Amino acid sequence: MKKNILVLCTGNSCRSQMAHGFLNALASDYATIYSAGIETHGLNAGAVSIMKEAGIDISSHTSNHVDEYQGIQWDFILTVCDHAKENCPYLPAPKAKRFHHNFFDPSKVEGSSEENHDAFLKTREQIREYIITFVNENLT
């Protein structure tokens, strides 16, 4: 039976979307992946672009609020920013294994297009490595 995975961040626009994309690419045979935020900020264009460079299309993803997923029995909950971990409403998920890693938010960079690209690239690669490790240790 497939596992249910929730990736959670503040606005479900950037970091959780990248993690969602990597999980879909690497673990869709083992899991159903959801991502959400404690707020919704819409899909970040920089996240879409940097994931496309990695061969993963997240352009059809939507920015969802965590409350939209009430009643799902979670197996894993991954928070990808401190703000979401500290401010997330209670999720009744007694059997869920919870993981946390605070990734830098590249959407906060104010600089040249090259500086912005480099920030998204760095965060994407950190998330990729984190998700590969998570999948290898928990799903395969």
Name the one residue in this structure whose structure tokens are 């497939």: 2
Q: What stretches of the chain adopt beta strand conformation (E)?
A: 3-9, 31-37, 76-79, 97-100
* Contact of 14 with 84, CB cutoff 8 Å: no
Q: How far apart are CA 136 and CA 101, in angstroms?
A: 17
Is 14 in the active site?
no
Is 88 in the active site?
yes
| 13 in a structural domain | yes
Range of the structural domain that residue 55 is part of: 3-134
| 140 in a structural domain | no
Q: How high is the mean pLDDT in each 10-residue block of the chain (140 residues)?
A: 94 96 96 94 96 98 93 94 77 85 95 96 98 95
Query: Model's pTM, two decimal places?
Result: 0.95
Q: How far apart are CA 13 and CA 40, in angstroms?
A: 7
From the candidates 54, 72, 88, 121, which is the catalytic residue? 88
| 26 in a structural domain | yes
| 72 in a structural domain | yes
From the candidates 19, 36, 81, 119, which is the catalytic residue? 81
